[in-house]
Structures are given as C-alpha cells and as structure tokens.
Amino acid sequence: MGIFDGIISGFFIALTPMNLMFGFLGALIGTAVGVLPGLGPAATIALLLPITYSISSPVPAVILMAGIYYGAMYGGSTTSILLNLPGEAASVVTCIDGYKMAQKGQAGPALGIAAIGSFIAGSVAVVGLTLFAPPIAEFALGFGPPEKFSLALLGLLMAVTLSGESVTKGLIIMVLGLLFGSVGIDPISGKSRFDFGVIELQSGFDFVTLAVGVFGLGEIFYNLEQEGNVEIVTTKVGKVFPAMADWVKSRMAILRGTLIGFFIGIIPGGGAVISSLVSYAVEKKVSKHPEEFGQGAIEGVAGPESANNAASSSSFIPLLTLGIPGNASIAMIFACLLIKGVKPGPFLIVEHPDVFWGVIASMYVGNIMLIILNLPLVGVWVQLLRVPYGILAPVVILFTAIGSYSIANQAFDLYALIAFGVLGYVLRKLKFEAGPLPLAFILGPMIEGSMRQSLLMSGGNFLIFVTRPISLTIVAVFALFVVGQAVFAIRRAKRSAGVQAAV
C-alpha cells in the first residue's frame, strides 16, 4: 500500500463517527489539561489508561491519547502567556515574551498567534510525518551520546539568549539550574547525589514541580505583596485577535519554528525543549529589533510555539516506525498500544495499517478541531484576567498542587513545589530572569550523562565529539555562534572606545 492509498484509508478510519468522537474528546481533554496549570499530558494519559481497556479496538484508544498529547501542547501556551506558568518544558520559552505581552494588554494577539502557529506547525509536521517517517526515523537513530552532548550543549548556549538584561545573572541562574539537575541517582555511577538522606530526592526533582513553582507560584507570591493592586489584572485586556501587522511579523517565525521543531523533535528525549530554545535564539538573531525580545516580541511567542507543536507531531515518528518512545507521554501511548496487542515499530505499517494510517489521519483532523476549539476560546481565556486576583491565585495554587502530586503520587513534591515558589519569589525580587533555570535543569543531566557515555565509548578520547559528522556539524555551529558573539562584542567595544577617543 502506497502512502497515498494509506492516508486515504486512514481518513476513512479517522472520519468514522466513533473515531471522530474520540478525536474530539482527546482534543478537548488535551486543551483542558494544557490550560489547567501544572496538570500535564503524561499524568492525564496515565490516569485514563484503564479506561481504554474497555475500548475494543486499539485505534480509537490511540486517537484519544494522541489527541490529549498534542491538544495539551496547544493549551500549554495559554497559562504560559496569561499566568507565567509553563505547563511543560517546551513552554518555558513562551512565558518570556508571552507573559510580557499579556502584561501590556496584548494577551489576545499572543494567544491567537500561538494557536495559529500551532495549527500551521502541527499540520505541516503531520504532512512530514506522512511522507518521510521511515527515512527520518533512521536519521534520529544516528543521534548517539556524542551527538546528544553537542546538541544539549548548543541548547544551553541558546538558553543564554533568554537571560534578559544581565548575562551575569543569566549565568548564575543557569548554574543553579544545573545544580538542581544533578540531584538524585546518577545513572552512570549509580550513586545518589545531594539527597541528604531523603529517599524522594533520589529520583531528583520533577521538571513540572520546578517550573510551575519557580514561575507560577513565584509570580503569585510576588503579586500578593502588591497589596491588592496587581498589575496584570488591572491592565486593559486589549484586542483579542492578532492584527495584520502581527501576522506579517510572525509568519516567517512560524515557518522557521515549524522546520526547527520538526527536525529536532524526532530526537528521543528533550527534542521539543531544545527545538523551542533554538527557535527563540534564531528569531532573536534574525530580528531587526532584537532588543524587543524579552519585552513582549510576538515572534518570541510564534516561533517557539510552532516549534514545540511541530516537535510533538514528529516525536511520533520514532514511536510509530522504530517502536522507540521518546518522552513520557509517548511512552504512555506506547503502553496503551502494547496492552491492546499492537506493537509499534517497523512492522506496524504492515501488521496494523489501520492503526498507523488511522492515527496519522486523525492528527490532521485533530489539528483542525483544535484550531476551531482554541481560536474562539482565546476571548474566553483573556476574560480570565478580569477574575479578581484573590480568587484566581488560590485556584491556580490548587491546580498546581494537584498537578505536582499527580506526577509520582507523593506528598514530597508538594513541599518541593512550595520551596521552588519561594525561590521564584526571591529571584523575582532580585530581578533575575528565571527562564534559563528550568532549561539548564533539563539540559544539565543530558550534557553530563551523554558526555560520560561518549567518553566511555571512546576510551576517554575527546576527539569523539568532532570525528562523527553530525556531532561535528553541531560543534561547528556552536563554535560559529561563540566566535560571532565575541567578534561582535570586540567591534562594539572598539567602536565605543573610538567614540570616546574622538570626544
């Protein structure tokens, strides 16, 4: 069966009333989960797994799960923009300019462009998934420890671009993030680090707890201090939909974000996060007014949001073609298929073409449902800013607490959540931009682990990072970036020295 026949048969499956209903249900639950702060797609899918036992065929079950997964990616930007609350790692970048936009009364355009960007990126990525899944999967396998090391290092460098006004403060925050990332059992030595005898710390901190605590709770604690005079609430809500000018500014960002997200998203583990970072850094570099980034630049929302949505679609490629789940949510979908007796992998397309093509076709349909669901809702979400802070804040805290607890079903995460909230408050007081913290937290263990794995593979030879073509390419990009920055800085210093000499 060719691709064309395949996808047509897929649409016949995806468009049956029952599958349409499950797709819609998935999109709806996903949007809700994305919007509710702290509640993530992985925990939701885990909760719903037992329900799928009673669904007789695997197709609707997977359509439902997949809908929740990419639906949450759509909804995730909502809380990032409105409340400075990243629901998952890939939304951290969205907070930076999105929240600034909301504070300026541009929540509507920010939410609108995020939804439109997500729709375009999601649809393009599904087309890519349809046409190129198998060759791209082989490319993803080419990413071994040395390549992952180089890529994560590049990601960390990109995270510096988020550091706001002071690079020194950005670096301090980054080191803090790396430090938090090193808590727990080190897989290479098996030794537990910085656990202070607390068993819960052996598995390290959870990302959601850290990000939601530092960003969301920190923001709430900070606002509570403002004595009933909270800025985000009193600012005018402003226009609801992006203007033509916003669209013109964003369209290339969406396109670039889509491509970046599609390709980086296929790499198992951390692909979506790095793609949103790379997209942000690229947009800041190509922009004619980079100083607007961090102050509410719409490209800083459009690019990364497109990237993380494209990544969420392309992360299905390693699962569907290789049987390799790349992240926690995909692993849950993997489990759901296995319980139903369907083994994702290279034979999926032969043994269960209904599952393979049905799921892919459902993603086209799902993306359309999501844009229909989300665009009209933009107005509703914007109204949320009118809710008195005294009501909004406790509700947000309640949901973040439920979300944190649901990750590992342990009370310890609640204490950690509050502690990270206090940290976020302190950082906010000291005027630190917290963006690099959660990113360094994710990238640190990747960098450390893959570097030590690479060196074990090479017998301690550091040349392994530059003798493999993919790794060499990434290292070269890294070097170009650093040298470029240095030359730029020296020139600027000389020019200002020249100006002073002339005076």
Partner 1 sequence: MKKLIVGTIVIALAAAMGLSGSVSAQDKYPSKPISGIVPASAGGSTDLMSRAIEKVWPKYSSQPLVVVNKPGGAGVVATEFVVRSKPDGYTLYLGYGSGHDIVMPHLQKMPYDPYKDLVPIARISVHSVVVVTGAKSDFNSLPDMIAWSKKENKPITSSVSMKAGAQDITITAISKAAGVNIVTVPFAGGADAVTALAGGHVMLGAGHPSEVAPHIKAGRFKPLAVALPQRDPSLPNVPTLKELGINVSTWGSVKGVGAPAATPKEVVAYLEATLKKVTEDEEFKKIMADLDQPVMYLNGADFAKFLQEAHADYGKLIKELNITIQ
80-139 residues in contact with partner 1 (CB under 8 A) are none
**Of 113-121, 229-237, 388-396, 482-490: span binding partner 1 (CB under 8 A):** 388-396
As measured in angstroms, the least distance from the Cβ of 402 to partner 1 is 7
Residue identified by tokens 């759509």 is 74
As measured in angstroms, the least distance from the Cβ of 42 to partner 1 is 8
As measured in angstroms, the least distance from the Cβ of 339 to partner 1 is 5
Q: Phi/psi class of residue 104: alpha, beta or left (left: φ > 0; alpha: ψ in -120 to 50)?
A: alpha
Nearer to partner 1, 217 or 342 (CB): 342
Of the residues 191, 499, 500, 503, which one makes contact with partner 1 according to CB under 8 A: 191
Q: Does position 486 bind partner 1 by CB under 8 A? A: no
* Structure tokens given for 158: 């990109």
Of the residues 127, 171, 188, 477, which one makes contact with partner 1 according to CB under 8 A: 188
Residue identified by tokens 């020019």 is 495
| DSSP state string for 62-112 | HHHHHHHHHHHHHHHHHHHHHHS--SSGGGHHHHHHHHHHHHTT-HHHHHH
Of the residues 16, 127, 182, 200, which one makes contact with partner 1 according to CB under 8 A: 200
Residues with Cβ within 8 Å of residue 84, at least 6 apart in sequence: 95, 99, 215, 216, 219
Between CA 232 and CA 243 the distance in angstroms is: 22
Q: Does position 349 bind partner 1 by CB under 8 A? A: no
Q: Does position 141 bind partner 1 by CB under 8 A? A: yes
Look at residues 90, 457, 482 and name the one whose alpha carbon lies nearest to residue 264.
90
As measured in angstroms, the least distance from the Cβ of 337 to partner 1 is 10
Of the residues 10, 145, 358, 421, which one makes contact with partner 1 according to CB under 8 A: 145
**Of 21-29, 140-148, 209-217, 474-482: span binding partner 1 (CB under 8 A):** 140-148
As measured in angstroms, the least distance from the Cβ of 362 to partner 1 is 21
Q: Phi and psi of 130, rounded to 5°?
A: -65, -45
Residue 126: how many CA atoms within 13 Å on its side-chain side? 23
Q: Are 264 and 275 in contact (CB under 8 A)?
A: yes
In what helix (H) or strand (E) does residue 413 lie, and over which residues does it extend?
helix 412-429
As measured in angstroms, the least distance from the Cβ of 248 to partner 1 is 33
249-268 residues in contact with partner 1 (CB under 8 A) are 268
Nearer to partner 1, 9 or 453 (CB): 453
Q: Phi/psi class of residue 344: alpha, beta or left (left: φ > 0; alpha: ψ in -120 to 50)?
A: beta
Of the residues 243, 252, 402, 477, which one makes contact with partner 1 according to CB under 8 A: 402
Nearer to partner 1, 395 or 476 (CB): 395
Binding mask 41-70 for partner 1 (x = CB under 8 A): -x--xx--xx--x-----------------
Q: For 291-411, where are the alpha helices, taking DSSP H only?
A: 299-314, 316-317, 328-339, 348-351, 353-383, 389-408
The number of angstroms, rounded, from the C-alpha of 76 to the middle of its chain's C-alpha atoms is: 9
Q: Does position 347 bind partner 1 by CB under 8 A? A: yes
Which letter does DSSP use for residue 213 in this model?
A: I
Q: Does position 470 bind partner 1 by CB under 8 A? A: no
Nearer to partner 1, 82 or 162 (CB): 82
Of the residues 242, 269, 304, 358, which one makes contact with partner 1 according to CB under 8 A: 269
Of the residues 56, 229, 409, 500, which one makes contact with partner 1 according to CB under 8 A: 409
Of the residues 166, 226, 234, 383, which one makes contact with partner 1 according to CB under 8 A: 383
In what helix (H) or strand (E) does residue 192 lie, and over which residues does it extend?
strand 192-193
Binding residues for partner 1, how many (CB under 8 A)? 60
Q: Does position 37 bind partner 1 by CB under 8 A? A: no
Q: Does position 466 bind partner 1 by CB under 8 A? A: no
Q: To 5 degrees, how large is the angle CA 98–CA 102–CA 108?
A: 90
Q: Does position 205 bind partner 1 by CB under 8 A? A: no
Of the residues 103, 203, 235, 287, which one makes contact with partner 1 according to CB under 8 A: 203
Q: Does position 190 bind partner 1 by CB under 8 A? A: yes
As measured in angstroms, the least distance from the Cβ of 427 to partner 1 is 26
Nearer to partner 1, 381 or 425 (CB): 381
Residue identified by tokens 């490629």 is 317
Contacts 24+ apart (CB under 8 A), 159-163: 159/277, 159/435, 159/436, 159/439, 159/440, 159/443, 160/436, 161/280, 161/281, 161/284, 161/293, 162/93, 162/96, 162/277, 162/280, 162/294, 162/433, 162/435, 162/436, 162/439, 163/433, 163/435, 163/436
Of the residues 168, 341, 430, 501, which one makes contact with partner 1 according to CB under 8 A: 341
Q: Which amino acid is present at 49?
A: L
Of the residues 172, 175, 185, 255, which one makes contact with partner 1 according to CB under 8 A: 185
Between CA 474 and CA 439 the distance in angstroms is: 19
Residues that bind partner 1 (CB under 8 A): 42, 45-46, 49-50, 53, 141-145, 185-191, 199-203, 268-269, 322-325, 328, 331-332, 334-335, 338-339, 341, 343, 345-347, 383-384, 386-387, 391-392, 395, 398, 402, 408-410, 412, 445, 449, 453, 456-457, 459
